[in-house]
Amino acid sequence: MNRLLGGNALFALSAAALWGGSDFSGGMGVKSAGGGVRAALRVVLLSHATSFIVLVVLARLHGDAAPHGALLAWGLAAGVFGGLALTAFYIALSRGAMGASAAVSGLLAAAIPATLTLWRQGSPGEYPLLGFAVAALAIWMIAASPDAGRSGASESAAERQSARQTMAMAMFAGAGFGFYFIALKMANATGVLWPMATARIGSLSICTLLFLGLQLRPAQPTEARVRLNRGAVGWALATALLDTSGNLLFVAATRMGRLDVAAVLASLYPASTILLAALALGEWPTRRQALGMAAAVVAVALIAM
């Protein structure tokens, strides 16, 4: 267990805990703002703008050199992937059961960087590989919706369509997070603070373009009215704090060890999202989800061997 105590695994697990809280806050912020793409973009823009200001101030105080060239490009690319993925993810969280959306995105977010790292660096060992498989199983088990046992016949066509759209959003978000992990790893040679600051430039740029494009399009009659009220602002600021802290820990984890180990462990964030949803919203995990959380503990132990 030495790698868990002294290596990148501990940082990755801490990032997962903070990201789970950030996802819960982001989903609640979007829901408080009215739901939908416009609300999600406003929450992302507010939280990332706050995060960017704090990161730049800290980087300046720390005396870190600003990145340029390929490192800057990777940081901006990470922000574009992350901004698009986060917007889609918050929409999914605000529309459906938080646990299912978080778990499906987590599975893809872990699989893409893990596959790339295994291809480029080879196997990390028998136990970590087994841990990756158990982690994938754990995330999939956690993905079980509280309504999974309900027959399809009892659902209306509109409900089924909405569920499919929500799952598509979660899958798109997971793929985006996977590429975000890779790009952020490539950008982290400049330290911990500047990669995140440049990533925020990328996310703010792409989300601003999307927001301006939506503003030029008249709102649809069925589209919810955006209300960036005090509650939504509070959730957005909480998201900024938790997400930025989690990202900094993830960057530190990738600097200390393999990307696949960091990505797989950090992608266990659905567990903390589900726990918060259970405590705050009464979305209690099913037996299958509880078994998935137990499997996640086994996966952590195997990866850390």
| Residue 99 pLDDT greater than 90, yes or no | no
Cβ(93)–Cβ(29) below 8 Å: no
* Mean pLDDT, range 64-86, rounded to an integer: 89
Question: What CA–CA distance (Å, rounded) separates 233 from 239?
Answer: 10
Question: What CA–CA distance (Å, rounded) separates 176 from 183?
Answer: 11
| Segment (H or E) for 293 | helix 287-303
Tens digit of each residue's pLDDT (9 = 90 or more) over 24-55: 898 888 888 877 778 888 888 999 999 999 99
| Residue 74 φ then ψ, to 5° | -65, -40
Instruction: Please give the pLDDT value at position 130.
Output: 87
DSSP alpha helices (H): ranges in 96-125?
98-121
- Give, as one character, the DSSP assignment of residue 226: P
Question: What CA–CA distance (Å, rounded) separates 27 from 36?
Answer: 11
pLDDT interval class at 74 (50, 70, 90): very high
Best-predicted range by mean pLDDT (113-117, 120-124, 243-247) = 243-247
For residue 197, give every residue at least 6 positions away whose Cβ sits within 8 Å of its Cβ, in sequence order, or none.
Answer: 52, 55, 56, 59, 75
Going by C-alpha positions, the residue among 82, 90, 92 that lies closest to residue 52 is 82
| Residue 280 pLDDT greater than 90, yes or no | no
pLDDT interval class at 8 (50, 70, 90): confident
C-alpha 215, offset from chain centre: 26
Best-predicted range by mean pLDDT (1-5, 16-20, 155-159) = 16-20
Cβ(207)–Cβ(83) below 8 Å: yes
| Residue 100 pLDDT greater than 80, yes or no | no
Q: What share of the chain is helix, strand, coil (3-state, %, to 5)?
A: 80, 0, 20
Question: What CA–CA distance (Å, rounded) separates 201 from 76?
Answer: 6
pLDDT interval class at 187 (50, 70, 90): confident
What is this structure's pTM? 0.81
Question: What CA–CA distance (Å, rounded) separates 196 from 243?
Answer: 11
Question: What CA–CA distance (Å, rounded) separates 195 from 291?
Answer: 36
For residue 284, give every residue at least 6 positions away whose Cβ sits within 8 Å of its Cβ, in sequence order, or none.
Answer: 146, 278
For residue 71, give every residue at least 6 positions away whose Cβ sits within 8 Å of its Cβ, in sequence order, or none.
Answer: 186, 187, 189, 190, 195
